[in-house]
Structure 1
Amino acid sequence: MTEKNNKIPFNEDNYTHNIHRNNERKLDRRGFMKTLVGAAGVFAVSSLPWGAVAAKELMGLGEKEYPQQKITEVKSLAIGDAVDFKFPGEHDDAILIRLSDEKYVAYQNACTHLRCPVFWVKEEGEMVCPCHHGKFDVQTGAPTAGPPRRPLPEIQVKVEDGAIYAIRVKRYET
């Protein structure tokens, strides 16, 4: 019968034989915290340029100009009717409503709750978001019912040479 070698290859009193090796860096609590604070500092400093870009964009929101865009002809929009258009970009849905002979209002028609489309209901004289029964005042774009808390972004329009033009998106007033 052969004898098995059941001998432990290190001193039985030292079960931490692999912790202290040559050239191994010791990391205690203080060293760990220094590393953690250093990493957080690197992340904070690396995010500063993006924060500056975002702040510049937000601060310049009121002055941002877009090329004016023709929406429709005055004669093709009856009082009480609405027309959909895109402004300021091709993916930004908007709605123009003619309230009287001389009064036009336009808003971006994505609900300020969850971006569902907002529709003009001529018979009821109100703007409605069918997703969660949100309603907006046609004169101001302010929410009047449902979950939306912010007004619809207003688009300033002008009438020139028998046509209606979108000029700019009005900045929120806080």
Structure 2
Amino acid sequence: MNNKNNKIPFNEDNYTHNINRNNERKLDRRGFMKMLAGAAGVFAVSSLPWGALAAKELTGLSDKKYPKHKIADLQSLPVGDAVDFAFPGEHDSAILIRLSENKFVAYQNACTHLRCPVFWKKDEGEMICPCHHGKFDVKTGEPIAGPPRRPLPEIHVKVENGAVYAVGVKRYEA
């Protein structure tokens, strides 16, 4: 029988006829490594702007400017009392304490241990975190008891025109 369907389309001794095709790119180990190094270089260069922004933020080269925020009027805050407020953002809880006639301190009142709220105990003259019995020095924000190891972030305040204003957040050095 001489049927066209029974013909073998290639030489029988060439079993690799379908491996090498015309115009096909060949990629050996050396080519693969060059491609890998090139891709790594592209990723490294593309991440430089983000790394520069992060370094600038971490080194404090760009001090953040916050709008002045009124906390309380002087006549509404007797010596020894405290008032809660939000600063720098509307969801950032903070506390202002009037220590004397002209001395005010303000801190973000989330404990530096597990972010529990910190309360001012006027009778004891202490700032207390009730979650794990942490205590902070009211004059410095430094931890004095319990598990917290870092001070409370301090908020800069300014007295102006019979009122107390929050004007910035103190940057801490690592």
Relative to the length of structure 2, the TM-score reads 0.75
CA displacement at 1:22 relative to structure 2: 5.3
Mark the structure with the bigger radius of gyration. 2
For residues 37 and 110 of structure 1, do their structure 2 counterparts lie closer, same or farther at Cα, with a shift above 3 Å needed? farther
**By how many angstroms is 1:114 displaced?**
3.4
1:116-170: CA deviations, max 9, x gaps?
3222222332222333433221111112233333221111112223211112112
Q: Give, in whole Å, the separation in 2 of the partners of 1:166 and 1:105.
A: 10
* CA RMSD in angstroms, aligned pairs only: 2.9
CA distance in 1, matches of 2:19, 2:120: 72
Percent of aligned pairs with the same amino acid:
77
Q: Deviations over 1:58-117 (max 9, x none)?
A: 4235x4332221110112112222111111222221110111222110011222233332
SS at match of 1:101: coil
**Residues of 1 paired with 2:102 and 2:56: CA distance?**
36
- Alpha-carbon distance in 1 for matches of 2:31, 2:167: 58
User: CA separation in 2, counterparts of 1:131 and 1:103?
Assistant: 28
Query: Are residue 37 (structure 1) and residue 37 (structure 2) matched?
Result: yes
Q: Secondary structure at the match of 1:106?
A: strand
The verdict on how the C-alpha distance between 1:81 and 1:37 changes in structure 2, with shifts beyond 3 A counting, is same
| Residues 21 and 145 of structure 1, relative CA distance in 2, 3 Å threshold | farther
Give the aligned partner of residue 69 of structure 2.
Answer: 69
Structure 1's unaligned 5+ residue stretches are 1-10
**Distance in 2 of aligned mates of 1:169 and 1:76:** 24
* Rounded Cα–Cα distance in structure 2 between residues aligned with 1:67 and 1:42: 40
3-state SS of paired residue (1:70): strand
Change (3 A) 1:120 1:102: same
Decide which moves more: 18-27 or 73-82. 18-27
1:59-138 alignment to 2 at 5 Å?
59-61=60-62, 63-138=63-138
Aligned to 2:4: none
Pair 1:71–1:40, CA change in 2 (3 A): same
Q: Could you tell me how far apart the structure 2 residues matched to 1:25 and 1:147 are?
A: 62
Distance of aligned partners of 1:48 and 1:131 in 2 relative to their CA distance in 1, 3 Å threshold: farther
Query: The residue matched to 1:105 in structure 2 has which SS?
Result: strand
Secondary structure, in 3 states, of the residue corresponding to 1:167? strand
TM-score, length basis structure 1? 0.75
